[in-house]
Each structure stands twice: as C-alpha cells, then as structure tokens.
Structure 1
Amino acid sequence: MLFLGIGLILLALKYFEIDPVAAWSWWVVLSPFALAVAWWSWADWSGYTKRRAMDRENARKQARLDKQREAIGIVKRKR
C-alpha cells in the first residue's frame, strides 16, 4: 500500500509538472507501481497475506473468548 501511495503522489507531481519531479524520467515516476505489483505477487505466493488474515482472525477469536470468560467470572491466571 505504501508503494501505491508513493506512486500516486509522484504521478500527480509529474502530471502537474511540479519541480523536481517534472524533470524526472517516467520510469522513475512509475517504478513504485511496479514495486507494488512485485510486493503483492510475493505476498500472495509466499502465503504472507493468508497468515496475516489468520492471525487477525485468531486474535479476534481470543478476544471474544476472553470477554465471555470475564462475563461469567472466570479469571485468567497470570503465569
């Protein structure tokens, strides 16, 4: 997402011809978009995206269980 944001900012600066980006090559301006595609491809290929989604789901599940345990009076022991 960071690469996409940087790419959009650089694209707007190049389009409106704001210095110093107006003098840069289009390859430099468009390179963050290529980096974003590479990042998303790697994240999907390696399973990074799926692991992050599973971690968020497990954290929500654990928070819900902790809240229910507190509601019925079961206190979690500290180790």
Structure 2
Amino acid sequence: MWLMVIGVLLIVLKLAAVGPFETLSWWWVLSPFPVAVVWWEFADKTGYTKKREMDKMDEKKEERRQRQLDAIGQGDKTRKKR
C-alpha cells in the first residue's frame, strides 16, 4: 500500500513540477508501481497476507471471548485469585 501512495505522490510532484521532481525521469517516478506488484505477488505466494488476516481474526475472536467472559463474571478482571 505504501508503494502505491509513494507512486501517486511522485506522479503528482512530477506533474506539478515541484523542485527536483521536475527533472526526475519518468522511469523513477513510475518505479514504485512494478515494485508494488512484485511485493504483492511475493506476499500472496508466501502466505504473508493470509497469516496477517488470520492473526487479526484470532485477535478479534479473543477480544469477543474476553468480553463475553467479563459479561458473565468469569473474566480475568473479576475472577478472584486463589
């Protein structure tokens, strides 16, 4: 995602002719886009994106479980220590 933002920012700066970006080659300006495609392919093939998605789901599930335990008085905060 960051590579896409950088790419769009570089295009805007190039078209607005801001400072050193005015003389910057279009190859450099457009280079973040193919790099983003390569990153997405790598992340998808290695399972990086799926693992992050599963971690987020597990975190939400644990938060929901903890809220339910707290609601019935069995949560860590309300449980008496032995």
Q: Which runs of 4+ in 1 moved over 6 A?
A: none
Counterpart position of 1:31: 31
Deviations 1:52-77 (A, max 9, x none): 11000000000000000011111337
Q: Number of matched residues?
A: 78
Q: CA deviation at 1:8?
A: 0.4
Q: Which shifted more, 68-77 or 4-13?
A: 68-77
Within 5 A, what are the aligned runs for 1:1-79?
1-76=1-76
**Partners in 1 of 2:62 and 2:52 — Cα distance?**
15
**Structure 2, unaligned runs of 5 or more:** none
Provide the alpha-carbon RMSD of the alignment.
Answer: 1.5
Structure whose alpha-carbon radius of gyration is higher: 2
Higher helix share: 1
**Partners in 1 of 2:24 and 2:3 — Cα distance?**
18
TM-score where L is the length of structure 1: 0.90
**Partners in 2 of 1:23 and 1:11 — Cα distance?**
12
